[in-house]
Amino acid sequence: MNKLEELIDISIRIGNSFNWKKITPGRTYNFRVYRGDSISSLKNLFIECFDESLQGELKKYNIYNSKIIPLHDDNIVNDAFTGPDSCNLDIIDRNEYLFYALTI
């Protein structure tokens, strides 16, 4: 099977917020996605976890990999990993399954 067609469990952690009462930094959301899914689609899944009244604010967030390197909408989930052919356990061992949502 092609690695891009493989499902992987990832997490997105909110790194910061302008309003801590509405969007809580440190809170983590878990997703099961394909390695070939775009960062844009991942970001949309993340935004859908919130009430409609907050979704506009969340669209201002950017997604970063575990080393706080920005990922662009046209990147894919697999781009965030050190080795694109790494097995899921290696990705977990390197904490690369963790993404961050940050607003600047």
Write down the domain spans for the chain: 3-102
- pTM reported for the whole predicted model: 0.94
64, β-bridge pairs: 70, 100
**Which pLDDT belongs to residue 50?**
96
**Which pLDDT belongs to residue 61?**
97
Count CB atoms within 10 A of the CB of residue 10. Answer: 20
Q: DSSP letter string over 30-79?
A: EEEEETTSBHHHHHHHHHTTS-HHHHHHHTT-EEE-TT--EE-TTSBGGG
**Which pLDDT belongs to residue 1?**
67
**Which pLDDT belongs to residue 72?**
97
**Which pLDDT belongs to residue 11?**
98
**Which pLDDT belongs to residue 104?**
85
- What is the longest distance spanned by two Cα atoms in the chain? 44
Residue 95: exposure state from Cβ atoms within 10 A (0-12, 13-18, ≥19): exposed
Q: Kindly report the CATH class assigned to 3-102.
A: alpha beta
Residues of the chain predicted below pLDDT 70: 1
